[in-house]
Amino acid sequence: MNSTRLRRSALGTAVAVALTGAVACTSTDDAPDRPDGVRSAPPALIDALRRADRATDAADSVRVESTTTIGSQMSLRAAGTLGWADDVTGALTLTYTGGTALETMRRLGSTSMRTRYLPDAYYARMGDTFAAQTGGRHWIRYGYADLDGLDQVRSTTPNQSVKLLLAAGDLRRVGAERVRGVDTTHYTGTVATADLTGDATRLGARELAALREQLTRAGVTSERVDIWVDGRDLLVKKAEKGSTLTGGYSQTAHYRDYGVRVSVARPPAADTADYKTLMDHQDGR
């Protein structure tokens, strides 16, 4: 693989990582109006999930560990902190464990990547081999406005899994379980994109429409969602597994230390290259 193709592949790998959250933890927009269709679900179950949605959203920050697999494209582990008091901010370290992305990263001399989320952009730190091809700059800046779908990253907070579960046609309470020493309640359900018609007791019409649009844009045809909620109505664990037009994906995340301080510094400008500028140069513009 020549240097130009390797650089382009690396840029695409970092973008795919950024969009992983948007695929496996789809966001929605709040709306006051309600759809007409109603599916039966015990009121106590809906109330419990609404409390989990509100409590998790209000916590503003968390420490997260996750594993993600997207077909043959990539598998990775992630660990770090995430905050969402205003815009999403955070810092995660990603370790690639399989897929074509792992091979790309190996060619770049590192199988891990540091990422930072700031209000204006997503940043990914590449290895020295990549930096040698970009004037010594290790960080890539991806402006949210520069890539279709990347702005969804700013809404991929833990409570979005709760919202997604509220759209499940077969929503049910599994029962009490312990997760890493914490007493939790396990809930599960399956979301079929084609069957999203609305439920007056669960999601607003525009909220549901946004959910359907985002799943469709991501190529998601169906997704199973499991969440585990503690006694404070906080999300402790979530697992999402689904099918897309190009293959399957799965993601499991554990959450702890809600309210943790999240401090994210912008990478040094002298060590940062802009994704759009890099692509323009590669395309001869």
Collect the ranges in the chain with pLDDT lower than 50.
Answer: 21-38, 200-201
Instruction: Check if the beta carbon of residue 102 is closer than 8 Å to that of residue 96.
Output: yes
In the chain, domain spans: 43-278
Q: What fold is seen in the domain 43-278?
A: outer membrane lipoprotein receptor (LolB), chain A (2.50.20)
What pLDDT score was predicted for residue 2?
53
Q: What is the pLDDT of residues 11-39, one digit of tens each?
A: 666 655 555 543 344 333 333 333 333 35
pTM: 0.84
List strand residue ranges (DSSP E) for the chain, in order. 61-70, 74-83, 89-98, 112-117, 121-125, 139-143, 172-179, 182-192, 220-230, 235-244, 247-256, 272-274
